[in-house]
């Protein structure tokens, strides 16, 4: 495929309707798959990752009605014990959420299941779900000493555990909570920092006996979940490129509409605030059991900041964009405690050092993050490789939109989470997405 090309507009005035939340879309399909009855999901994210989830669930016998191009999907749940054994391997594509949540769910089903994915997913750590699920009694095997997909599961009876997770990961937490719904006794998951809590909100709304105390979520077994119909709010991780574009560009004002502002996801807003960015939350409201707002963001003078600790899981998918913010900020910007960045769709620390380095920024990799001294005298366009990682594709595109000259991007993969990203970028830059 030929590389995509972007360059800098002199002025940006745009209003963007951000795509639906990926995490909530996955969960809406997976949780409703085991509910008693039919749910309507309005505005699910139609991207490669969520399609992977829907296809896997259909292979397990779940009634999914979601024709291409339709903004509403229906899921006819099979109840908690009604999934069929899939006739084939379940292909999770590029999606860690699909693989890890289904591993938890299928550990509790007396079926033989084999989960695989693309080259990136087959290189991502799976012991983090396999080993606690085995402690619960699941029979799971995987490649490389039970650490890498493909994963083979022969599900069955489980016992609850109190699990102290070494990583703050909503995927691990959600896999164990799903398994815990079927276990004998309670299952609790404690995290070193609070990860996104969409599973807790949605499962509680479906009637699951679930309590949250600080960074611990505990679920008791149940025999029934109510279907949950919802309208999926906009994804703050897909809003993030626009927020960063607006604050770094010298003449920009962007209104990003319908963004989920759940506090377990708004680390980037806290980082922007600490850097002195000019933005406001407008029309605060609720959708799909989550807080939502429009964000109005303008060109800003930024100062460097340190991102660490509890902020990291609350901004995990946005941290590569913080490196770009650092290029436009006065002084040092440092991200630490974020070794998880190396376990995403790519090693995002190495990938961002490559992309921003090609454009003239000097970013120093750390084992658990990166440091950058800003402001960088002038980013210049370059040919960069996003190595099939959607977040790196969007980072490269926004960096290219802020750079002097043309940027060409190979392997952007934006279809994984934001299929209309380049159309929205073109509309924002040529004025076609102008503010009302
Ligand atoms: C997600 C959780 C995060 C995030 C990923 C989506 C989820 O991963 O990076 O994009 O939907 O639960 P981890 O749970 O591995 O931190």
Q: Which CATH number fits domain 22-219: 3.65.10.10, 3.30.1330.40, 2.30.30.60, 3.20.20.140?
A: 3.65.10.10
> What is the pLDDT at residue 418?
97
CA distance 180 to 108: 9
pLDDT at 163 over 80: yes
Region 285-290 average pLDDT: 92
Residue nearest to atom 4 of ligand 1 (CA): 317
Give the count of beta carbons closer than 10 Å to the beta carbon of residue 411: 18
Nearest to 324 by CA among 267, 247, 430: 247
Region 282-302 average pLDDT: 96
Catalytic residue numbers? 317
Three-state secondary structure call for residue 314: helix
- Ligand 1, closest atom to CA 22? 11
Region 282-290 average pLDDT: 93
Per-domain boundaries in the chain = 4-20+233-430, 22-219
Region 59-77 average pLDDT: 97
> What is the pLDDT at residue 5?
83
pLDDT tens by residue, 19-56: 999 999 999 999 999 999 999 999 999 999 999 999 99
pLDDT at 1 over 50: no
The rounded Å distance from CA 222 to ligand 1 centre is 25
Q: What is the 3-state secondary structure (H, E, C) of 51-85?
A: HHHHHHHHHCCCEEECCCCCCEEEEECCCCCCCCC
What percent of the chain lies above the pLDDT cut of 90? 95
Region 48-75 average pLDDT: 97
Give the count of beta carbons closer than 10 Å to the beta carbon of residue 72: 14
Place 367 in a pLDDT band, splitting at 50, 70 and 90.
Answer: very high
> What is the pLDDT at residue 286?
94
pLDDT tens by residue, 87-117: 999 999 999 999 999 999 999 999 999 999 9
Angle of helix 127-135 versus helix 96-106 axis, rounded to 10: 10
> What is the pLDDT at residue 350?
98
Residue nearest to atom 10 of ligand 1 (CA): 317
CB of 223 closer than 8 Å to CB of 269: no
Residues in contact with ligand 1 by the CB-under-6-Å rule are: 23, 26, 97, 169-171, 174, 195-196, 316-317, 340
> What is the pLDDT at residue 7?
80
Arithmetic mean of pLDDT over the chain:
96
Place 4 in a pLDDT band, splitting at 50, 70 and 90.
Answer: confident
What percent of the chain lies above the pLDDT cut of 70? 98
**Which alpha helices (DSSP H) does 161-265 contain, by range?**
170-180, 198-205, 236-248
The rounded Å distance from CA 9 to ligand 1 centre is 33
The rounded Å distance from CA 361 to ligand 1 centre is 28
The rounded Å distance from CA 344 to ligand 1 centre is 9
The pTM of the full predicted model, rounded to 2 decimals, is: 0.97
pLDDT tens by residue, 179-189: 999 999 999 99
Q: Of the residues 196, 321, 343, which should be mutated to test ligand 1's pocket, given the most ligand atoms within 8 Å of the CB? A: 196
Q: Tell me whether domains 4-20+233-430 and 22-219 share a fold.
A: yes
> What is the pLDDT at residue 9?
87
Region 197-218 average pLDDT: 98
Using CA atoms in the order 171, 182, 231, 91, what is the torsion angle rounded to 10 degrees? 50
> What is the pLDDT at residue 236?
98
Residue 49 in tokens: 């990752």
The rounded Å distance from CA 252 to ligand 1 centre is 30
> What is the pLDDT at residue 180?
98
> What is the pLDDT at residue 2?
52
Residue nearest to atom 16 of ligand 1 (CA): 169
> What is the pLDDT at residue 182?
98
The CATH number given to 4-20+233-430 is: 3.65.10.10
- Ligand 1, closest atom to CA 199? 12
Greater confidence (92 vs 1) lies with 92
Residue 252 in tokens: 């920009």
Sign of CA dihedral 290, 291, 296, 299: negative
């Amino acid at each position: 495929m030929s590389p995509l090309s972007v360059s800098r507009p002199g002025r940006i005035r745009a209003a963007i309707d951000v795509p639906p939340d990926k995490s909530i879309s996955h969960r809406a399909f997976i949780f409703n798959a085991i509910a008693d009855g039919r749910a309507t999901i309005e505005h699910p994210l139609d991207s490669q990752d969520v399609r992977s989830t829907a296809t896997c669930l259909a292979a397990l016998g779940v009634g999914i009605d979601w024709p291409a191009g339709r903004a509403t999907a229906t899921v006819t749940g099979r109840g908690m014990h009604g999934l069929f054994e899939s006739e084939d391997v379940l292909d999770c594509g590029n999606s860690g959420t699909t693989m890890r949540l289904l591993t938890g769910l299928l550990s509790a089903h007396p079926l033989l299941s084999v989960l695989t994915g693309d080259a990136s997913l087959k290189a991502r750590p799976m012991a983090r779900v396999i080993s606690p699920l085995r402690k619960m009694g699941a029979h799971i095997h995987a490649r490389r000493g039970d650490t890498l997909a493909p994963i083979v599961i022969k599900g069955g009876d489980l016992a609850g555990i109190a699990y102290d997770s070494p990583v703050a990961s909503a995927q691990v937490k959600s896999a164990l909570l799903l398994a815990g719904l079927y276990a004998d006794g309670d299952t609790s998951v404690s995290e070193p920092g609070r990860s996104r809590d969409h599973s807790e909100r949605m499962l509680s709304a479906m009637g699951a006996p679930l309590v949250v105390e600080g960074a611990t979520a505990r679920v008791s077994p149940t025999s029934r979940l109510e279907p949950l119909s919802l309208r999926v709010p906009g994804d703050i991780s897909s809003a993030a490129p626009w927020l960063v574009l607006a604050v770094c560009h010298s003449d920009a004002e962007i209104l990003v509409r319908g963004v989920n502002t759940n506090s377990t996801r708004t680390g980037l807003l806290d980082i922007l605030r600490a850097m002195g960015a000019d933005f406001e939350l407008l029309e605060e409201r609720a959708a799909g059991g989550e807080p939502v707002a429009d964000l109005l963001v303008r060109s800003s003078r930024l100062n460097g900041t340190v991102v660490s600790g509890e902020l990291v899981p609350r901004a995990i998918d946005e941290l590569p964009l913080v490196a770009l913010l650092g290029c436009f900020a006065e002084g040092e910007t440092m991200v630490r405690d974020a070794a998880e960045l190396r376990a995403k769709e790519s090693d995002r620390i190495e990938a961002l050092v490559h992309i921003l380095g090609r454009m003239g920024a000097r970013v120093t990799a750390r084992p658990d993050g990166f440091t950058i001294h800003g402001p960088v005298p002038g980013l210049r366009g370059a040919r960069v490789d996003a190595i099939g990682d959607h977040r790196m594709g969007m980072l490269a595109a926004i960096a290219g939109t802020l750079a002097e000259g043309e940027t060409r991007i190979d392997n952007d993969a934006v279809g994984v989470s934001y299929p209309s990203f380049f159309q929205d970028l073109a509309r924002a830059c040529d004025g076609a997405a102008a503010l009302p």
